[in-house]
Chain A
Amino acid sequence: MKTDPDVIVIGAGGGGPVVAKELGELGIRVLVLEAGPWYGNKKWHEPNENRGITKESSNPGDLDGSLYRQQLTRLENDMNDPLSGKFRWGAADRRRTPWYRNIPDRALLWQSAGIGGSTMHYYANSPRAFPEAIEEWPIDYEELIPYYEKVEATLPVEFAPTVSKEALFYYGAEKAGFSMNQTLNVTSSGYRPQPNAILPPNEHLMDPNYSMEELSHMEGCTLSGHCGQGCPYGPSLEKMAKRSTTVSYVPLAMKTGNVSFRPNTFVTKVLTEYSASGKREATGVQIRDTWTGETEELRATVVVMAAGCVETPRLWLNSDLPYNPWVGRGLTNHYMDMVTGTFDEETLMEILGSRSVNPFIGHTSGGRLDYPGLGMIETIGESPGLSAQLLFGFSQYGYNSLHGSASDMWDQRGRLVGSELEKAMEDYSRTLTLSAITDDEVQFHNRVELDPHITDEHGKVPCVHYEPSKKSKKRREQLTKIATDILRQAGATKVHRTDLPSNYFIHLQSTMRMGYVVDTTCEAYQVERLYVADNSADYNALGGPNPTLTTQALATRTAELLASKYFT
């Protein structure tokens, strides 16, 4: 792009490409800046090994599904190692360490840099917010519905197919007294398949005349279980089964002819000036090339921050923008726990007609139970390394071998080591794991701030402090007990409770809250022409559901409002 773009979007994750596509369709020229690499683009054949042959790409012809498939190896250590995996919060060059966030506690914060951002590793769960949680927002749920519908049609979203682990979960949920919730707008508790941004299975999936190799090049989910590793199965990049934004909104944005994406570009500062009326307004950004360290200033009429819940407030604070006590404050987390039930072969045979659950088959998370007032319960079936690490290696409780479970509800609790770990993993194929995810309460003390002592190449590093409220803790406890009951009702002979540490971060939200930092159009109160289009604009934690769909709906709305204010 030779002339200044109309809009600069910072971050190509869940929200940024949505804004770009919507604005591009209106004829507005957009440049999206992304800190991490780009997988599946011919201009970066070896995206982790060198800086490629160009700086940005706007031609949909650059996108290449076979390259994407070759780069996303579906190997859990290669893809998901938080320190050196292809999906990590760090530069494209994996010889370098990740970008540091100081979280002074037992902590793991899942975020991924790169075109697609954290949607590269997300499970594509796309439920709407609970209407009762949006009642607290300064905008109405009704107002969001058309935008939800638009995103659901665009991604697209479809209810997850049933595989063994979901069949077992629905069976247990039914026996535990819940019924199916046949809706997208959840007002009461009940189970249902996950509305997922994953293409339905190909109609020939069960037909042995089609080989799995053939099917993996055809349209539709193959139930491979590689959601968390990106899932590069489909006939072309834009038809890949799992709808990370890199295969959905990014190609659509490029097709408008008005959008260019620039990977390997870290935004270090939002530039502002004072307008004639004396108001501070955004005029551009300062960037740093992650391969060369070269810096540049880029100008635009409007700047949209979509760098995620940690980096967006960090960028605000590192840019010396006007003081606002709520910048970085009110952080919510999907404060969660996990319970794993082990089943004997006879029970499984009776319920499923097979002797194993094989939790790694199907959508990684295909079933859910919504519980307005508490949060949600989800099925999860990860690969062995990720499962062992999260279920048996990460706990605030301590070591099962030192304390026992200290409760009748769980046979084991906390970290497992040695022979008890070996036994638990031997049973892996006969387990069902449920996550209990809390509707986390907004607290002013939970925050992202700048570390006063530590600086990296992009400025002061973020420091994340999080301690759930009493109410959130109580909700987690209730949900964990419900999840345990579902497993027992389904016939689990043994239940292990992980008791995850509170600083296990997924679905971070609300660090630039609507009504406090941004107005109802998601424009910053104190800086004109500066918008937020990621989870940080959320007023609260949506009642518990996964936030991506709401962020995408809100980003669609923000693009429309931004265009009508500055480009008509």
Chain B
Amino acid sequence: MQATFQALTDAFVPSVQPEYASPFHETDMGVHNYIILSLNHNISIQQQLNHHIVPLAYPTAIMLNSAATQLVNHHQAQAFPQCLFPGGGMFSHLSRKDRIRTLAALGNLDIDLYVLPSPFQNNAGMVKYVTDALSRFSLFGYYSEWPAYGSTRVLPPDDRCLEFFPLTWQQVGYPGVSLGYRDFRGFLLTMAEVKT
């Protein structure tokens, strides 16, 4: 499962140079873990006495591999003989572009929904919701402060603490939490002016 989500973030987000990826040595700064956490922290339902979390990460990994297999079988994608992410399924055998094609096919429901695992089987709304969320989670995980929670990043939110300044914030020129900026250029209009 881990490998499938690594293949996913590898297609979505820019790869971090190994020298910057420390201390975790992951070119996606561990964002695939953020996706797994998010998918497993999404839905809970009540059944008699039990309040169940519906874990979505594992069935999502199966869905991605199943969709990739369908694309390969229909010659819409080409599988490399070797697995690019050890332990992964068919999705990890595809080029980045073909992985994006697979996600596009899922998002457009251009696949056989019957062969997908529960809760996705013949459930177009759920397929569209989760496939879309994969992209949002990847970008939010990568460009927010999440990777900088470092060794505490997979803990419950209230147990995390920032261990360093987020690399992506540095890259994009965002100074992080700010007390304020001296960029006041005056008022174009005031309430006093419109009330007279």
B13 in contact (CB, < 8 A): yes
| A104 & B135 in contact (Cβ 8 Å cutoff) | no
B92 to chain A, nearest CB (A): 17
A284-B36 Cα distance, complex, nearest whole Å: 42
Which residues of A have CB within 8 Å of B190? 158-159
| B189 & A398 in contact (Cβ 8 Å cutoff) | no
For B45, give its contact among A73, A201, A225, A456 (CB under 8 Å). A456
Which residues of B have CB within 8 Å of A84? 41, 156-157
For B129, give its contact among A107, A161, A213, A393 (CB under 8 Å). A107
B75 in contact (CB, < 8 A): no
| A77 & B144 in contact (Cβ 8 Å cutoff) | yes
| B45 & A455 in contact (Cβ 8 Å cutoff) | yes
Which of A206, A223, A418 has the most chain B CB atoms closer than 10 A to its own CB? A418
A458 to chain B, nearest CB (A): 8
Interface stretch, picked from A163-171, A321-329, A517-525, is A163-171
B74 in contact (CB, < 8 A): no
| A394 & B183 in contact (Cβ 8 Å cutoff) | no
B187 in contact (CB, < 8 A): yes
For B182, give its contact among A76, A81, A193, A205 (CB under 8 Å). A205
Given A162-B187, A385-B145, A425-B143, A107 contacting B100 (CB threshold 8 A): no
**Count of residues in B whose CB is under 8 Å from the partner chain:** 69
A102 to chain B, nearest CB (A): 8
B94 in contact (CB, < 8 A): no
Which residues of B have CB within 8 Å of A456? 44-46, 51
B87 in contact (CB, < 8 A): no
A39 to chain B, nearest CB (A): 13
Which residues of B have CB within 8 Å of A192? 188-189
Which of B12, B131, B139, B142 has the most chain A CB atoms closer than 10 A to its own CB? B139
| B194 & A77 in contact (Cβ 8 Å cutoff) | no
| A76 & B43 in contact (Cβ 8 Å cutoff) | no
B115 in contact (CB, < 8 A): no
In the complex, the 9 A-B pairs of residues with the closest C-beta atoms, listed nearest first = A104-B125, A222-B180, A385-B144, A393-B139, A106-B132, A422-B14, A77-B144, A212-B179, A388-B143
User: CB within 8 Å of A: which residues of B?
Assistant: 11-14, 38, 41-47, 51, 53, 96-97, 100-101, 103-104, 107-108, 123-126, 128-129, 131-132, 135-136, 138-146, 156-158, 160, 162, 168-169, 171-174, 177-191, 193-194
**Known interface pairs A152-B191, A192-B189; 17 further A-B residue pairs with C-beta atoms within 8 A, sorted by A's residue number:** A74-B178, A75-B145, A77-B145, A81-B140, A104-B124, A158-B191, A164-B185, A182-B193, A201-B184, A222-B179, A223-B181, A360-B174, A385-B141, A385-B146, A394-B132, A428-B172, A456-B51
